[in-house]
A and B are shown apart, each in its own frame.
Chain A
Amino acid sequence: MLERPTCLLSIIIFLPSVFAILSLLLPMQKEWIRNLILFSSSLCSLLLALFLWNIFDVKNSGFQFSEFHEWIPKWGIAYAIGVDSISLLMVLMTAIVAFIAFLSTSYNCHNHDHDHDHDHDHNHNHPLPAIKYASAFYALILFLQTALYGTFLATDLFLFYFFWEIALIPMLFIIGIWGGSKRLKVTIKFFIYTLFGSLFMLIAIIALVAIHKENTGVLSAQYNILKQGQLAAYFDGSSPMAALSSPQLWLFLAFTLAFIIKIPIVPFHTWQPDIYEESPLLGAIFISALLAKMGTYGLLRFSIGLFAEVSNYISPLMCILGIVSILYGALCAWSQISMKRVIAYSSISHAGYILVGLFTLNAIGMTGGLYQMFNHALLVTGMFLMASYLFERVHTDNIREMGGLAKIIPLHSLALFILLLSLIALPGTNSFVGEFSILVGTFNMNIRMAPLLAFFVALGGIFSALYAFRFYHLIMFGAIYKKEKHKEHREPFLAFDLKIKEVLVMGIIALFILGLGIYPDLFFAKTKISITTKVMR
């Protein structure tokens, strides 16, 4: 075993910020400097994450590499970070997604300089600022990465909330400045919507700390300490009325609301398709692959981790919510004609799987949920990159206006095919491992209607096949020129196939998809122990 470095996690968290400040100071108009900074930042980040993964002690189920500094001692708030197997996976996910995204993005940016006639469609970066204020753009993205790492690694509830909220600020500007034509309305809606949930979480954190202080006399916002608090006494599940009047339920709901809005799960999803459609590519990748996972991570860590009794009580309800998401998301995706909206609704559907998995509350289902977080992050990164590659070639986001592309750009169609295989969770892909675990977990749930729930979860699989194949069919097969109005755009249809860099990016993703599908333990072995102990509690 290697020697354990003391402030490894802090370095991981703040490294992107250092690069962000660097990028603000350096003249980023020169493209090679920009690429160099982005690439070196993401590479360092990835190497550090891999290093962490390598020296992580599997047998230890508690927090490792913990750091503790007093921050606001008067309120029992500390800068406390640590990594356990759940956050390890999240950190790795962030590093990998950021690496892939940055690897692909320099190409995109370059392409915008001589981007031609798509003024009728503003789905991409806003032409002027994206080039002129590139340094600010990338600095914001890097700050966002810091906030993400912080959220995943914080073991102090206040610190968690701090990073959780900070992540919103870069997002606000990324979408608000560089987003599409509807960006203003959409951004403000997104910001207020997510903050709506978060503020109740803040109140719940305050209440939780106050309750703990009352019981034990210890003023602390630390996760480990709060977990040992006598919260069980604050829940009475004997009758629905008793449950409704118990504080633990309301605390749970306040936390869960924040997370569910962020993921998002169905009744609270209305901000999401718009945001995915309007945000610039990098923003879309970060928000769908990583910010959404902040929510699922929060569910696992805080909602389930802190409020065991309520979670038990409410798990069927949450599973039903998840199933509604799965089916609703899939059906909506089926009827969309915009690529980004298909991806958005498919994300809602997948988030439903994750929710069901987490709230099966047994080891196999929760592990499946955790896998799916990682898998979906990769998948949605790939999907968004694919959508942008296609957009660059056919200059439309409307899948009805495409068609027959398989003949022109076969490599694309192969890459998209692999992604879609993962999306419908075919055996041999990584998602199969996750979704199958979730299915088994649902069956094994300790309630009478478990088989029924499992049936609906399985039904979701069929639904996803429906929209995935419609998506693929409309884009890749059929007649080549579909719409009259695109006559003037014929020329771009003579599109070039994947470029080297794109092949590289898609290759990495495909490697993950197939590799983890065939031998999942290679990657996921380290995550098992923590989940098991969580359920055993």
Chain B
Amino acid sequence: MLNVQMHEVMLIQKIPSAIWPFLFPVIILSIFAILNLVIAPLLSSKHTKKGRTGVVFFMAVIALLLCTFSALFNFTLTSETLFAGLLVFDNLAKYSTIVLCLGGLFSIINLYESEIACDQREETPLPAEVYILLLFSLIGMIILASTTHLFMMFVALEIMSYSIYVMVAIRRTSKNSSEAGLKYFIMGGVSSAFFLYGLVLVFGNLGTLELTKASLALTLLNPHQILLLIVGSIMIIGALLFKVGAFPFHSWVADVYQGANTAITGFMASAVKFASFIMILRLTKYLFFASTTASTNASTNVSANSEAIFLVLSISALLTMIWGNVLAIQQSNIKRLLAYSTIAHTGYLLLAVLASQNSVRSFEALIFYLTAYFFSTLGTFAVLSLFRDKDDKNDKELESELTIDSLRGMGFKHHLLGVAFTLFLLSFAGIPLTAGFIGKFFLFSSILPKIHFTFVIVAVLTSLISLSYYLKLIAVMYMRGEERMYGVVDRLEYNPVNATTIIISFTAIFTLFLGIFPGPMLTIIASLF
């Protein structure tokens, strides 16, 4: 069976010319990334470190721009499947590519600018390789979002993860960064092993790694074997829960988010989560809850598998919502707080995954929520990347030690920055006028008739809990009054027309627009399935 499979894979089909445009984003990114790898050391002898970083950054931006345009162009083309499902260019993949490219573009610009600021403060900026790594991780994400083949998923996941591990740990002199990188790497390695083992079990039972075929094979499976399949599926789920930072595997999130450079944290919180959820979505659709999508009559196999998965996911979702929100309350470090808040959001997203057992509509809600969350997160971390807090011990400014209190008076000192940050927070909290509200509304309305009422009640109550810490941030920015006015924001002197500000305003306007006129976005998302 393996031979057949490998044969199928290895068979190099003659690629029709219509397919090429779909490959462009990945090809462009790969070429530029490798080119950068070659160029970077060559430059180092002649140019200063700063100039070298600039060249690499410049090329990365060009790559991302080209990539974004080609992804935008691809959106108009009809869907294709390549290499027997190794690469799938359906609407979902096309959409994800656009979003991920935008995310990569915003993050890289944000990263570069915060590093320039670093330079002015006479800190060592990050080495130029970080931009190359970002490109590589983006390649992994794009492939991850456009495959229905389990093995390809594993490879893409590893491409993405390894780049991210290094990006987290890249500031070697910082204790926090090294700790975060090591933690993330070891735990991530274990989760990859889980994924691989689960993959093997699934393959052993179903005889295929191609998800669209797996759903058919599932119905033909001998009922005695179902237990192994369930174990395999749960192991895969476990690895994915690690990647998105859901309940039993969430403990790395806060440390890693705190230790990494703020712009990189933003990239992780948005893009990694987005790509992982697209993968979860595909796995759910074809393998875990296959009964809804495969038109065969639901055999016992299918229902047994999906019930087991449902149980695991529902426990994880409930505890993720509760855990994330409750732990976020007592955080005083902003990045840790936001880390726990992203855990909580993962919980809500998992609810949509759960509800997809009975309705495809909840996938739409998932994508909408994810998109809204994606841009708000990018914006939030872009705002934070402008700040450094002072560390009393060695008088060095450490971005990992940014406390809530350091935002004191920000709303008064920097009006528009404050408004944008408030908007993002309100969007996270799900208050009207923002994309987050429409996302929550869509989520609740799509899950309400489909899964047990308790989930919705827990979601509502936990989002009330979440309000308390989002409001705390808003309160710090605006409501502390003049006594001890201004935290580190006072020292912030940023040029109002730099690229980061443009990113922040773009994401803020996007958040607002999606909150008031969600219609167009809903139409786009409806076309994805």
Contact = CB atoms under 8 A, between A and B. Distances in A.
Interface of A: 71-75, 126, 128-129, 133, 158, 161-162, 165-166, 168-169, 172-173, 176-177, 183-184, 187-188, 191-192, 195-196, 199-200, 202-203, 206-207, 209-210
Contacts of A202: 441, 444
Interface string B445-479: 10011000000100010011001100110110011
B523 interface: yes
A162 B475 contact: no
A55 to B, nearest CB: 30
Given A176-B478, A203-B456, A133 B472 contact: no
6 contacts: A74-B523, A183-B479, A184-B475, A187-B475, A188-B472, A202-B441
Interface stretch (B218-226, B283-291, B295-303, B425-433): B425-433
B431 A165 contact: yes
A74 B522 contact: yes
A438 B467 CA distance: 39
A210 B475 contact: no
Contacts of A173: 478
Nearest to A158: B441
A72 B522 contact: yes
A203 B444 contact: yes
Contacts of B83: none
Interface of B: 412, 426, 431-433, 437, 441, 444-445, 448-449, 456, 460, 463-464, 467-468, 471-472, 474-475, 478-482, 518-519, 522-523, 526
B465 to A, nearest CB: 9
Contact of B460 (A73, A165, A199): A199
A191 B467 contact: yes
Nearest to A166: B432
Nearest to A181: B481
A183 B483 CA distance: 14
A162 B526 CA distance: 23
A-B pairs with lowest CB-CB distance, top 9:
A176-B479, A165-B432, A206-B445, A199-B460, A128-B482, A188-B471, A162-B432, A74-B522, A166-B432
B475 A73 contact: no
- Majority secondary structure of chain A interface residues (helix, strand, loop or mixed): helix
Nearest to A122: B481
B348 to A, nearest CB: 13
B468 to A, nearest CB: 6
B478 A210 contact: no
- Majority secondary structure of chain B interface residues (helix, strand, loop or mixed): helix
A195 B467 contact: yes
A187 B431 contact: no
Contact of A72 (B433, B482, B518): B518
Most chain A CB within 10 A, of B432, B480, B518, is at B432
A78 B199 CA distance: 47
A203 B448 contact: yes
A129 B474 CA distance: 16
Contacts of B449: 210
B464 A195 contact: yes
Given A169-B433, A207-B448, A196 B479 contact: no
A217 B437 CA distance: 26
A194 B62 CA distance: 49
A34 B451 CA distance: 53
Nearest to A192: B467
B481 A126 contact: yes
Contacts of A126: 481-482
Given A177-B478, A203-B448, 11 more contacts: A72-B518, A73-B519, A126-B481, A126-B482, A158-B441, A166-B433, A176-B474, A176-B478, A187-B471, A191-B467, A199-B464
Contacts of A196: 464
Contacts of A177: 478-479
A211 to B, nearest CB: 9
Nearest to A199: B460
A133 B412 contact: yes
A401 to B, nearest CB: 26
A169 B412 contact: no
A137 to B, nearest CB: 12
B471 A192 contact: yes
A288 B437 CA distance: 27
B433 A74 contact: no
A188 B456 contact: no
A158 B518 CA distance: 13
Contacts of A133: 412
B464 A206 contact: no
Contact of B479 (A75, A187, A199, A207): A187
A296 to B, nearest CB: 21
A202 B471 CA distance: 20
A200 B448 CA distance: 12
A172 B471 CA distance: 9
A172 to B, nearest CB: 8
B463 A199 contact: yes
Nearest to B482: A128
Contacts of B463: 199
Contacts of B456: 203
B507 to A, nearest CB: 19
A169 B479 contact: no
Contacts of A203: 444, 448, 456, 460
Contacts of A129: 412, 481-482
A169 B426 contact: yes
Nearest to B480: A184
B482 to A, nearest CB: 5
A206 B479 contact: no
Contact of B445 (A71, A169, A210): A210
A133 B166 CA distance: 46
A176 B441 contact: no
A74 B519 contact: yes
A140 B506 CA distance: 23
Contacts of B478: 173, 176-177
A65 to B, nearest CB: 23
A177 B485 CA distance: 13
Contacts of B445: 75, 206, 209-210
Most chain B CB within 10 A, of A162, A187, A209, is at A162
A184 B481 CA distance: 10
B432 A206 contact: no
A422 to B, nearest CB: 35
B108 to A, nearest CB: 33
Contacts of B426: 169
Nearest to B364: A74
Most chain A CB within 10 A, of B441, B456, B526, is at B441
A71 B471 CA distance: 29
A72 to B, nearest CB: 5
A109 B451 CA distance: 54
Contacts of B444: 202-203, 206
A128 B448 CA distance: 47
A8 to B, nearest CB: 22
B405 to A, nearest CB: 13
Given A202-B441, A210-B448, A168 B482 contact: no
B519 A71 contact: yes
A109 B313 CA distance: 57
Contact of A206 (B431, B433, B441): B441
A210 B464 CA distance: 24
Contacts of A192: 464, 467-468, 471
B412 A74 contact: no
A166 B432 CA distance: 6
B368 to A, nearest CB: 11
B3 to A, nearest CB: 48
Contacts of B526: 74
A129 B483 CA distance: 12
A194 B523 CA distance: 33
B138 to A, nearest CB: 32
A173 B419 CA distance: 12
Contacts of B481: 126, 128-129
B431 A169 contact: yes
Nearest to B434: A169
Contacts of A209: 445
